[in-house]
Structure 1
């Protein structure tokens, strides 16, 4: 429900991939998506970003978006089952080291 969501992935080799999850198949959106194992990922509302480069090095935020009016309702399923003791959060510096070209998106998605 709501607006499309863009899944932002950073792979171990520093490759960046973005996939739009949403209902509009004609626009290339996908109704569901599986993030591969051992890949860092985050997500943002697709319409919050006006334009960006494929490698994540540059992006322009859409001005004037009220977060109370714009949302995306999604779910995440983990397999095998999610274990809290296995949880690991990405760090700002770690992600910049892994994907230095994606610094603009990393600064947006991960608080310093």
Structure 2
């Protein structure tokens, strides 16, 4: 089943939150396509590799993290909006390890 909503949190290079909103998959693709290359941070999930390949194909740097590595950076209640902020914070931490993005043939194995 395809996701109907993707929570997108955009932070500028100075760490200021520009927006944190739910978007349709098509609007997310449009945002990626119409933005200059930047860091796209995601928590590893069922659709991580698909979205990582989309972002990479548009020139973005992808940082994928295991959910257990992101959890300490999520404050308050678990919501998509809070998770997105936690992912953004975690992606900037020194020593954070990131997942390798698999291409389609690797993922099929």
- Report TM bin, short chain: 0.3 to 0.5
Q: Normalised by the size of structure 1, how large is the TM-score?
A: 0.33
Q: RCO higher in 1 or 2 (8 Å CA, sep ≥ 6)?
A: 1
* Structure with bigger gyration radius: 1
TM-score where L is the length of structure 2: 0.33
